[in-house]
Chains A and B, each alone.
Chain A
Amino acid sequence: MSTSPSFALALPFDETRRRGGFFSTILSSDMPRSRVLSIILLTILLLLAATPFLFSGSQPVSTAAKICVFVVLVASYDLLLGYSGIVSFAHTMFFGIGGYGIAIALERMGPTWSSAAIGLLSALVLSALLAVAIGLLSLRVRAIFFSMITLAVASAAAVLASQLSDVTGGEDGLSFQLPPALRPAFRLLSEPLFGTAVNGRLLAYYLVFFVSLVVFLILLRIVNSPFGRVLQAIRENEFRAEALGYRVVAYRTAASVISALAATVAGALMALWLRYNGPDTTLSFSIMVDILLMVVIGGMGTMYGAVIGAALFVLAQSYLQVLMSAGSTALAGIPLLPDLIHPDRWLLWLGALFIVSVYAFPGGIVGRLRQAKQ
């Protein structure tokens, strides 16, 4: 199979690889390694694949598209946090660059595929350059510089995006037209398929779905490559990895660039799906916090954690608040308690869950499931 000799030598002790098999190839030999986990992942995949046919209305499809985008975004973040052991706060900046790349190109150059391609390409180039610059500036010294510098750069980028309103539309953001094939008015088939109209909106959803799936699999491949193993080695013991002859700064910077590129693609998908991009949808710091929560709750250091974290979080975001509002009204009259479970306070509880996860389940949900199996 794809297992090269050097790859085999780099096997960590906890890895139980099965050679061969179609799924093994697709998943880069990184199987879920837990029956419950496999079932959950498969369910998420099938539900996402069939959402437009299973549910009616636009809300479920929008939620599903958001989950797809966030799976890519969170997985790419996990490449940094979970696999390389460095905390970046600039991930939303790259997400935003992707979104603005598509938005600006489609708005200025007209709704064609080529302008979308140009927008995406220039966004990718910009992201890569920025990631290299930040990496070389901050990773030379200590990894915590990286966290602080990315925080500073990201906030500057957010301010720039809202100030340069000639280019970015400022706080209002940019609305734009999609290429004709992705518009709701476009009909691929004249007859509905399984009761669902096969229109441009459906195509747009599947574009988001398949691109997300492919990018996710590529990321899975990268973290299971020799390169990914070196990243993990650096995470575990930077000094020893350096002593073995790996250039820590170069590896970490490369990881940061790959992660930035994937985030840019996610941003582009988000903008394509929403037909809009603005500071609140892609650049805001609260999205950065959401990403952190998703990675940690899903499980750091496993790509599958990103899938579960993103699915759980986006669903919670859409439906948990309804539940909390019901609880809040039920408890009306008692001091402070209704305020604490007010729907706007849901981050309070997620934050607490986040702290508990970091202490008690550093492997998140995925780590927990894998442990339960043993």
Chain B
Amino acid sequence: MSDMTADASTELPRARSDWLPLLLVPALALLALPFVGSPSTWVTLTVAGLAMGMMIFLMASGLTLVFGLMDIINFGHGVFISLGAYATLLVLGPLAGWATADSLGLNLALLLLCILAAMALTGVVGAVFERVIVRPVYGSHLKQILVTMGGLIVTEQAIHAIWGASPIPIPLPQSLRGAFVLGDIVMERYRVVAVVIGLAVFTGMQLLLNRTRIGLLIRAGVENPEMVEALGYRIRRLFVSVFIAGSALAGLGGVMWAFYRQTLTAGMGMEVMVLVFIVIIIGGLGSVGGCFVGSILVALVANYVGFIEPKLALISNILVMALVLIWRPQGLFPVARR
């Protein structure tokens, strides 16, 4: 595992770069090729898997970020996904005409508005959630799990009370339906949009975390919150903003997931939380990069296995997780931690 050659005498100690897990994704894709058979099907599956992975990443990134910084495990994260999904109704109601208009610009603007509305709503609810539900139980994982489960139940029921308990269909904007066809390769348009948004968010997060002052503080807070506080920074304010950002990211993921499923249910967030947990465990709790790799890994495996041996697809996620944990019990990118 420690195949890195560290030349410590001449350089400052650098962050240990660990490329091995990154190789897993291309290795897996290549491994799947002979089993899938036809290359065009393989490309279709791979692109679909990447898109799926991006959506999972969008939903999971907030959770792993919050865990990394605040050491809080939020089992109620799923309800922010649902809330984000339902927030699209606030936009789709008055602007229904934009969805049916046959104009890519108008459709994308609608998607963007949905995303903004969802992020605003989940951000606000996240702030309340942090204040009311999470703050009293900092430091105790057991109570966090219990209390955030309670918050999940209450918020889910509140969604039922406000929007009704029956599933609500939401249509995909006109020009995002259908697929691009290049020869034998089929790429759903919406999945391409999902890949673009997912990559943009990942790049944005990486830049924010690694190239800005705030990112530096966040990373420092992950390593040693007391020291950051001692240096005069208000770590609490940082905590709250990261929690709000994490909730807003879940809202963003919720919108993408809602348009993908094209149905809204209050339980949709909790259903996808299973995948989210698997992904952040695989990635290493608290690691954004690990979360990204884990999402793609899980989604690709699910797609390949679903094509090759559909019966096995039901438990393929669990198998991937088990294998990764046997290899690295802390996940792919273990985060140094108290």
Using a CB–CB cutoff of 8 Å, the interface residues on chain A facing chain B are: 81, 85-87, 137-138, 140-145, 147-149, 151-153, 155-156, 159-160, 163, 285, 289, 292, 296, 336, 339-340, 342, 344-345, 347-348, 350-352, 354-355, 358-359, 362
Contacts and interface: CB of A to CB of B under 8 A. Distances in A.
23 contacts: A81-B142, A87-B145, A138-B325, A140-B329, A143-B141, A147-B75, A148-B73, A148-B277, A149-B281, A151-B274, A152-B278, A152-B317, A156-B318, A160-B315, A339-B161, A344-B165, A348-B157, A348-B158, A350-B153, A351-B154, A354-B153, A358-B150, A359-B136
B109 interface: no
B147 A355 contact: yes
Nearest to A354: B150
Nearest to A235: B142
The binding surface of chain A is classed by DSSP as helix
A296 B153 CA distance: 14
B179 interface: no
Interface in B261-284: 270, 273-274, 277-278, 280-281
Contacts of B329: 140-141
Contacts of A351: 150-154, 157
A153 B277 CA distance: 11
Given A151-B277, A160-B315, A358-B146, 7 more contacts: A81-B142, A145-B281, A148-B277, A153-B318, A156-B314, A355-B133, A355-B147
A148 B162 CA distance: 29
Contacts of B165: 344
Nearest to B267: A285
A129 B96 CA distance: 53
Interface string B47-70: 000000000000000000000000
B330 interface: yes
Interface of B: 73, 75, 133, 136-137, 141-143, 145-147, 149-154, 157-158, 160-162, 165, 270, 273-274, 277-278, 280-281, 285, 311, 314-315, 317-318, 321-322, 325-326, 329-330
Contact of B157 (A142, A155, A345): A345
Contacts of B273: 151
Contacts of B317: 152, 156
B141 A155 contact: no
The binding surface of chain B is classed by DSSP as helix
B314 A149 contact: no
A344 to B, nearest CB: 7
A333 B79 CA distance: 29
Select the residue from A85, A149, A351 with max chain B CB neighbours within 10 A. A351
B160 A344 contact: yes
Contact of B149 (A137, A292, A342): A292
A347 B157 CA distance: 7
B314 A163 contact: yes
Contacts of B285: 142, 144-145
Nearest to B146: A358
Given A148-B281, A358-B146, A141 B330 contact: yes
A152 B157 contact: no
Select the residue from B141, B150, B157 with max chain A CB neighbours within 10 A. B150
A133 to B, nearest CB: 8
Q: Give the 9 A-B residue pairs with the shortest CB-CB distance, closest first.
A: A351-B153, A348-B157, A355-B150, A148-B277, A351-B154, A354-B150, A155-B274, A339-B161, A87-B145
A352 B273 CA distance: 22
Select the residue from A142, A355, A359 with max chain B CB neighbours within 10 A. A355
Contacts of B280: 148
A355 B318 contact: no
B147 A347 contact: no
Contact of B161 (A348, A350, A359): A348
A234 B306 CA distance: 42
B283 to A, nearest CB: 12
Nearest to A348: B157
Contacts of B154: 348, 351-352, 355
B314 A152 contact: no
A163 B162 CA distance: 33
Contacts of B321: 149, 152
A85 B145 CA distance: 11
Nearest to B143: A358
A275 B308 CA distance: 38
B145 A144 contact: yes
Select the residue from A155, A160, A340 with max chain B CB neighbours within 10 A. A155
A289 B325 contact: no
B69 to A, nearest CB: 16
Contacts of A348: 153-154, 157-158, 160-161
A152 B318 CA distance: 7
A249 to B, nearest CB: 11
Contacts of A87: 142, 145-146
Nearest to A342: B161
B323 to A, nearest CB: 10
Nearest to A285: B270
A260 to B, nearest CB: 17
